[in-house]
Structure 1
Amino acid sequence: MSYRKYVTYFSFLLLPFLLNSQDDKTASETAQKPNIVFIIADDVNWDDIGPYGHKNIRTPHLDQLAQDGMLFTNAFLTTSSCSPSRTSIISGLYPHNTDAEQLAWPLPEEKKTFVQELKNAGYWTGLAGKYHMGEYVNDDFNVLWEMQWNDNIGLKGLDRRLVGDGSGCDDWIKLLQERPKDQPFFTWLASADAHRPFYEGIIENPHGPEDVILPPYVPNTEGVKKDFALYYDEVSRMDEYIGKVVAELEAQNVADNTIILFVSDNGRAFPRDKTTLYEGGIKTPWIIKWPAKIKGGQTNTELVSAVDIAPTFMQMAGLEPLQEFDGFSFMPLLENNDIPIRDEIYAEDHFHDYEDYTRAVRTKQFKYIKNYYADLPNTPSADIIRGLGWQSMLEEKEKGTLNEAQLKCFIAPRDTDELFDIIKDPYELNNLASNLEYSSVLEDMKSRLEKIRTATNDILPTERTPDDFFRETGLPTKYRIRPRPSKAVYMKARAEGRVLVNPDFK
């Protein structure tokens, strides 16, 4: 029996014991299917909340969630891009297997989702907030309240403001209150915080530059610190809504048998974070609370991947995970911290505003990154380029004051191979790929990556996708089309020798 099949088989055998482990519950209560509340942040770094040690960002409700549940310190996403991350989570597939691997490509109709399976099994399913997965997922939810944009504010359709307070969380509590009370429920609560653009005055007690803790790959300037402080405000606003969710579940007397899982879709929207495969792009906060089954205050150091969420939720609901899932259940980790379910995680970077194709494999100690398009600079997303922090970096670049790490986003060509010892070098500043002392580690990591690529049919595209934005300004090119056509439409046009452009571009 393979390692993966063994873990899946073992965890499924373990399920009845997990679901019947609390002595003070009656038989009827124990047999009741758990409710599931999935909370997904937008562009929030794993270590930019209190439970992971940040001393200055105010996140009291996430602090409490970690005290009441289990905090994972080695949790990773399959990609560092908004919609591909979400479609990967809901389908249980690596992005390259979703046919929605590029930003704003919709998940195709034929792809199954765990939400659909929960609904078929009698769960009431609802989504409130950011959606970003395409029209074919709509019917998986009994109720879908997508956040709405105020189209009268913004630059050429960019950097728009949301209707409501801007958080995207306005309908979270309403969704919980209006659900039917005679069914187990699943809710996908998706924040728009902390996605750019950032605005001042969104919370009563805003963070200031003195609160900011900067990573070494951005310069210590007033512009960068102000940008970070505004980002902190959005994280705190999201935290307030998480507190309201927990309070509502308690008021409805369903908190004990309700699972809450909190993650982010990718890292913060700053250079060398979002849209990269560094820790600031793919490492995610991951806190799970289930009062009926999980003892609070626990920390888990085992590797988990966002592709594992779908099979886990199905198993928690008493269902057998779909065979096509690329991940597998992390249920055993909730009972025993010493049961590893994987030796490595795999992550990928595709088109997000700008063309790229990068892959990474990460163990507990090492990360290997392969840049297949090494001729391209590691340009951050267009909204970052239009932001205050990047503009400050450009000024420092002109002055010649940026250090080597801070210049990485501008350099082309970049290294094809990158190897980092995460334990010794958590910010991934020292590339060991050419260090002979690590040659055996490099070969091992390369082998791991190729095995996963082969096993999951991850193939380099024959052509590149044109950039949607100019890399210098972050403003649209003629190739930016919204709503973005599906992968099938792009591939059909390519086969016919056509390149899709925006007919309204001026």
Structure 2
Amino acid sequence: MFIKKLIRLVLLFAIIICCSNCDKKQSEKSVSETINTQNRPNIILFVADDHGTDALGAYGNPIIKTPNLDQLAKEGTKFNNAYCTSASCAASRSVILSGLFGHATGSYGHVHDYHHFSTYDTIKSLPVLLDKVGYETVRIGKYHVAPEKVYQFNTVLKANPRNTVEMAEKCADVLKADKPFFLYFCTDDPHRGHPFEPNQWDTPNNFGNKKEGYLGVETVTYNPKDVLVPDFLPDTKQTREEIAEYYQSVSRIDQGFGKLMQMLHETGKAKNTIVIYISDNGMAFPGAKTTVHEPGIKLPCIIKDPTKTEKDITSNAMISWVDLTPTILDMAKIDYDVNAFHGKSFYDIIGKKAVKGWDEIYASHTFHEITMYYPMRVVRNNNYKLIWNIAHRLEYPFASDLWASSTWQSVYRNNVEYFGNKKVKDYLFRPEFELYDLEKDPNETNNLANEETFKEVLETMKSKLKSFQSKTKDPWMIMWSHDASLQGSGVNL
């Protein structure tokens, strides 16, 4: 009897000790979480879909109405030389959320439907890294990356991605959260709308616009006669009509952005929230989206950081979307291995007009849709830019929505010689190398690659590309000299 009582006492004592340790561990966890989250800013990354610098008041367009985004520029820093790495939605977004070029992660093109490109599951993405230190990570709107276990967010909100006002309203609880939050706010605007191919070829695409409009959104329309036609596009009736629709879609973005900022101010958290506005690639017109020419990859980037005292700053520093993940980790005060990313943080140059060392960017495009194989690699160093069209023997491919556009069809159906400032044949059949001096030739019309006086520049730029490809483990490096050193065995062991 005594032994049984002794055993019971020992078991009871063990249970008490165990519970005490559990409470201690739980207490330690709570303290740890407090340390992780204290003094960290909230971060909003607002990503538009196919929006170029051509359609923003802050970037010099006097016609389009974007008062809320223009106000963001007045309160923060506007970057004049901000670049995506690939002018394709999914490929670009994988870079934004990983800090790695798509050719190194398997993110070669679109993830949806039969395209089925997907990021390697060993990649640690931005939302996962933020979650580890206590951030509430939330996404709403366009996702377009895969697999979800790599790009995992704590919370997924649902709203019409064409109605940014509705999207903003769905974020109310996020803005009030006790924990610091990372809000990944992605619109479908101003991407072309369905159907891509109209019944009448010369009908302009709607760019998501509807005659009845959207609840809570003021419909802002534009006269095709008033829009600005970029030099790379033909100045036709069809082009102007489509740009007018594009502008309308951009104005809808602006209203939703304004609503989100209003809600943020009402929570009292604006002073501790960093706001970033970017796009995934350039306007959805031939000559921009899916190309690595300037209209396709040179994009808006406006950042408001309340901790920076300088406002209304315009920076000419060259930054890239591959720099965004390390920059946001710096914003969040997170220690990380700088060698884990291909990009580098530009956090320290936000709010500064003149900076040194930010004079080079790289781009890497391989696919858009799976039927659009046309790998291109790019280096821009100061004013010189080199494009290597690896598949130059192929006809340049069209995205399905761009081919069906009345802008392109107006040229194609009428056998017009020029598409904007380039001949149609030169648009479709490209040389292996394109070398431009962007200071003298911002429209990229005068290819210097075959000129003897620029031979040394060409070779220098080629060397930079090769070094870039080697450092980032680009499989397409094999196309220089059949060097298969980066290819691996091709066998699963």
TM-score interval, normalised by the smaller of the two chains: 0.7 to 0.9
1:175 maps to which residue?
171
C-alpha contact (below 8 Å) 1:127/1:141 kept by paired residues: yes
2:363 counterpart of 1:347? yes
1:256 maps to which residue?
271
Displacement, 1:246? 0.9
Change (3 A) 1:108 1:146: farther
2:405 maps to which residue?
387
Determine which of 144, 149, 162 is the counterpart of 1:132. Answer: 144
Determine which of 108, 113, 118 is the counterpart of 2:130. Answer: 118
Instruction: Structure 1: state its 5+ residue gaps.
Output: 1-27, 148-163, 464-490, 497-506
C-alpha contact (below 8 Å) 2:83/2:298 kept by paired residues: yes
C-alpha contact (below 8 Å) 2:91/2:107 kept by paired residues: yes
- State the alpha-carbon separation in 2 of the partners of residues 237 and 335 from structure 1: 28
Displacement, 1:217? 2.4
- State the alpha-carbon separation in 1 of the partners of residues 172 and 341 from structure 2: 29
Determine which of 87, 92, 99 is the counterpart of 2:94. Answer: 87
Change (3 A) 1:294 1:37: farther
C-alpha contact (below 8 Å) 2:110/2:144 kept by paired residues: no
Determine which of 381, 402, 407 is the counterpart of 2:424. Answer: 407
C-alpha contact (below 8 Å) 2:77/2:351 kept by paired residues: no
Displacement, 1:174? 1.5
2:432 maps to which residue?
416
- State the alpha-carbon separation in 2 of the partners of residues 139 and 399 from structure 1: 45
2:384 counterpart of 1:369? no
C-alpha contact (below 8 Å) 2:224/2:244 kept by paired residues: yes
Aligned length: 422
CA displacement, residues 13-58 of structure 1 (integer Å, 9 cap, x when unaligned): xxxxxxxxxxxxxxx9x96211100001100112321111011111
2:11 maps to which residue?
none
- State the alpha-carbon separation in 1 of the partners of residues 305 and 478 from structure 2: 46
2:81 maps to which residue?
74
1:241 maps to which residue?
256
1:310 maps to which residue?
325
- State the alpha-carbon separation in 1 of the partners of residues 38 and 491 from structure 2: 54
Displacement, 1:408? 5.0
Displacement, 1:178? 4.2
- State the alpha-carbon separation in 2 of the partners of residues 140 and 400 from structure 1: 48
RMSD: 2.6
Displacement, 1:140? 2.6
Moved more, 129-138 or 258-267: 129-138
C-alpha contact (below 8 Å) 1:45/1:285 kept by paired residues: yes
Displacement, 1:348? 1.1
CA displacement, residues 323-374 of structure 1 (integer Å, 9 cap, x when unaligned): 3111111012025443335431110111112111111101231110000100
2:13 maps to which residue?
none
1:210 maps to which residue?
225
Change (3 A) 1:327 1:294: farther
- State the alpha-carbon separation in 2 of the partners of residues 165 and 457 from structure 1: 35
User: In structure 1, the residue corresponding to 2:398 is in which secondary structure?
Assistant: coil
Letter in 2 for 1:77: C
Displacement, 1:67? 0.3
Displacement, 1:114? 1.7
- State the alpha-carbon separation in 2 of the partners of residues 357 and 245 from structure 1: 38
2:238 maps to which residue?
223
- State the alpha-carbon separation in 1 of the partners of residues 420 and 355 from structure 2: 42
Structure 1 length-normalised TM: 0.78
- State the alpha-carbon separation in 2 of the partners of residues 403 and 298 from structure 1: 33
- Aligned residues with identical type, % of pairs: 34
